[in-house]
Chains A and B, each alone.
Chain A
Amino acid sequence: MPVSNAFTELVASVPNRIWLALFVLAFGLFVAAVVGAINRRLLTRAGVPEAIEGTAFERTVREFNTSTVRILAQLSSYFIVAVAIIVALTVADVNYLDQFWSSVASFLPRLFVAVIVMIVGVVVGDKAELLVAERLRGIKLPDLGVLPPLVKYSVVYVAALVALGQVGVQTIALIVLLAAYAFAIVLFAALATKDLVASAAAGVFLLLRQPYGVGDEVKIAGERGIVQEVDLFVTHIEADGEDHVVPNHSVFRNGIVLIRE
């Protein structure tokens, strides 16, 4: 049997560790396929497709005939395949470029995490943009068009920072930028809501202690009249058909004059 002989010789000529490497590779491919499928099922079961429905990322991905869930599942498969290849190469003892492979092996997981973080960041950013836009439309304020993209890019920016940090890029400058941006937002929010917060704080006192109530005649902030309504932020005072709406912080700042005949 010459053919059979040749075959056994061929098998024998290939070293054992090559076979082992091939086996590792095959096993890696199998595991990758299984993990990919399981991941896709898990993500679908967890309601990810419904949650990210309509986001810009999902729509773009749809144009390439795939979906976010599939991309995430495939990423995990690729990662396992890559690890399997490296393990196979190590087992096969391909000793050239040894240094290169070891650095790649340590870099790969971080790259994988970075890509995942980036995708999740973009999807969450898209979703946040959609939610904010819907909320604004819900309270009939769709003119505030700046806000949704701002929310989106804030989320994406943070995700990008984390991803870059993962792959070891120097991000200090970007973090400083983020801090400045966050500080600006806090400052603007504080400036813009200063009066509202002050009014609410004064309103809590007015509601709890009731220095004046509905029906009392008072003079507040130069306006004299009968109190019609006290709520958390404002006090309504009516006089001669004029309804003065006085913010509670000015009630507090200027004091209250209760008028008793």
Chain B
Amino acid sequence: MASLTNHLSDLVEDADAVLLFSPTSSFYGRFEDAEEIVVVAPDNDVDADVFVELPLPFDNVKDRIRFGIEGAMDAGLVSEGDEVVCIASVFDGGSDAVIRVTVDQTVHTGIYDLFVNSRAEPSVIRDVFELAIELGQKGQKGKPVGALFVVGDAGKVMNKSRPLSYNPFEKSHVHVGDPIVNVMVKEFSRLDGAFVVSDSGKIVSAYRYLEPGAEGVDIPKGLGARHMAGGAITRDTNATAIVLSESDGLVRAFKAGELVLEIDPEEY
């Protein structure tokens, strides 16, 4: 067992910071006098001095760690080049994994910024993301589809767009994340145009033609009109656009006119 202990001490040797992911209070108590402890959890249950909020309980440990590190970078707790040791729970139950990560720019995917600094609630962004990813994996009746969701700042978005036809969500009060609603949204995804979702997750409209001023929007070349419209509307308003590409099947998120996140639904 000596080599195992050696390996573990190598792993945690001269770490610049320790990130505890959702620790129990007794587990946190064992670290209380140590330095550079950052607690990353949905709530600060252990009354930690240094705390990064996790707006969603990421099931994927990689995403959870990325999110925690980005949050810590954002708060100035760690900086590029730091060696960080993360203690997290991979399976259900207590903290069971020790992971060493070097902080660099590649960790910075913009996912933290997307969730925390958006106008809409983090859970709404997550729900829309999951919907777009699901749509990207399965498509509509087996055929690949594209979709454009504009989340947050719905009032302004509505004023910068016009209806293509009557709005199927007129006089309805449904929210994204509801399984039945998700099925409805998938059915409506074959309509061209954008879905407008409010800050609290209410689907305000489908079938919207966005009319933002497109000048000065810098999105990667090769992307089509849907991405251009999504990117441009986020420059004119405080909304976040989540776009599922019909041609390459990737889900992209735009904020303030810039591409902040690109994920492949197949990897999820």
Chain A residues near B (Cβ < 8 Å): 207, 210, 213-215, 217, 226-229, 231, 236, 238
Those 5 A-B pairs whose CB atoms lie nearest each other, nearest first = A215-B158, A226-B155, A228-B155, A214-B204, A214-B154
- Contact between chains at B171 and A210 (CB < 8 Å): yes
Mark out the residues of chain B between 52 and 82 whose CB falls within 8 Å of any chain A CB in the assembled complex.
none
- With a cutoff of 8 Å between Cβ atoms, the chain A residues found around residue B155 in the complex are 214-215, 226-229, 238
Contact partners of B156 in chain A: CB under 8 A: 215, 226, 238
Q: Which residues of A contact B202 (CB under 8 A)?
A: 214, 229
Interface of B is mostly: mixed
How far, in angstroms, from A226 to B159 measured CA to CA in the complex?
A: 9
Q: Do A215 and B200 have beta carbons less than 8 Å apart? A: no
Contacts A214-B204, A215-B154, A215-B204; A228 near B199 (Cβ below 8 A): yes
Let me know if A229 and B154 touch, CB within 8 A: yes
Contacts of A207 in B (CB 8 A): 173
Q: Is B83 close to A, CB under 8 A?
A: no
Question: Closest Cβ of chain B: how far from A241's Cβ, in Å?
Answer: 9
CB pair A229–B198 under 8 Å, yes or no, is yes
- Chain B residues with CB under 8 Å of A217's CB are 159
Nearest CB in chain B to that of A239: its residue: B155
CB <8 Å contact, A228 and B173: no
Residues of chain A within 8 A (CB-CB) of B157 are: 215
The answer for the CA separation of A215 and B204 in the assembled complex, in Å, is 9
Chain B 145-167 against A: per-residue CB contact (8 Å), 1 yes, 0 no?
00000000111111100000000
For B199, give its contact among A210, A213, A215, A229 (CB under 8 Å): A229
In the assembled complex, 6 residue pairs joining A and B whose CB atoms fall closer than 8 Å, in A order, are A213-B204, A214-B158, A214-B205, A215-B204, A228-B154, A228-B199
Smallest CB separation, A137 vs chain B (Å): 11
A207 to B198, CA, bound (A): 15
**19 new A-B contacts at CB < 8 Å, known A231-B200, A238-B156:** A207-B173, A214-B154, A214-B155, A214-B158, A214-B204, A215-B154, A215-B156, A215-B159, A226-B155, A226-B156, A226-B159, A228-B153, A228-B154, A228-B155, A228-B198, A229-B154, A229-B198, A229-B199, A229-B202
The chain B residue sitting closest to A210, CB to CB, is B171
* A213–B158 alpha-carbon span in the complex (Å): 10
A214 to B159, CA, bound (A): 9
Q: How far, in whole Å, are A229 and B197 apart by their CA atoms in the complex?
A: 10
Q: Which residues of A contact B159 (CB under 8 A)?
A: 215, 217, 226
Which A residues lie within 8 Å of B154 (CB)?
214-215, 228-229
Q: Which of B153, B155, B198 has the most chain A CB atoms inside 10 A of its CB?
A: B155
For A210, A215, A236, A238, the residue with the greatest tally of chain B CB atoms inside 10 Å of its CB is A215
CB distance from B233 to the nearest CB of A (A): 13
Q: Which of B209-234 contact A (CB under 8 A)?
A: none
B12-43 vs A, CB cutoff 8 Å, 1 = contact: the mask equals 00000000000000000000000000000000
Task: Give CA–CA (A228, B239) in the complex, Å.
Answer: 12
* Cα of A210 to Cα of B173 in the assembled complex, Å: 11
- B 182-207 contacts with A by CB, 8 A: 196, 198-200, 202, 204-205
List CB contacts (< 8 Å) of B165-187 with chain A: 171, 173
Roughly how many angstroms separate A236 CA and B171 CA in the complex, as a whole number?
18
Which A residues touch B173, using CB under 8 A?
207
- Could you tell me the distance in whole angstroms from the C-beta of A129 to the nearest C-beta in chain B? 23
Tell me the bound Cα distance from A229 to B212 in angstroms. Answer: 21
Determine the chain A residues whose CB is within 8 A of the CB of B196 once the complex forms: 214
Q: Which of A214, A217, A227: most chain B Cβ within 10 A?
A: A214
Closest to B173 in A: A207
Cα separation A30 to B224 with both chains bound (whole Å): 90
Please measure, in the bound complex, the distance between the C-alpha atom of A238 and the C-alpha atom of B154, giving whole angstroms. Answer: 11
Q: Quick one: closest A residue to B171, CB to CB?
A: A210
Docked CA distance A215–B153 (Å): 9
- Residue in chain A with minimal CB distance to B161: A215
Q: In the complex, what distance in Å separates the CA atom of A227 from the CA atom of B200?
A: 13
- In angstroms, Cα B171 to Cα A214, docked, is 11
Shortest CB distance B165–A (Å): 17
A229 and B200 contact, CB distance less than 8 A: yes
Q: Cβ of B153: which chain A residues have Cβ within 8 Å of it? A: 228
Query: CB-CB < 8 A to A215: which residues of B?
Result: 154-159, 204
Which residues of the partner chain B approach A229 to less than 8 Å between Cβ atoms? 154-155, 198-200, 202
How far, in Å, is B36 (CB) from chain A's closest CB? 28
The residues of B that contact A213 with a CB separation of less than 8 Å are 204
Chain A residues near B205: list those with CB within 8 A.
Answer: 214
User: When chains A and B are docked, how far (Å) is the Cα of A217 from the Cα of B155?
Assistant: 9
A226 to B154, CA, bound (A): 10
A86 to B32, CA, bound (A): 68
Give Cα A185–Cα B154 distance, bound, in whole angstroms.
41
Residues of B close to A214: CB separation below 8 A: 154-155, 158, 196, 198, 202, 204-205
A226 — which chain B residues lie within 8 A by C-beta? 155-156, 159
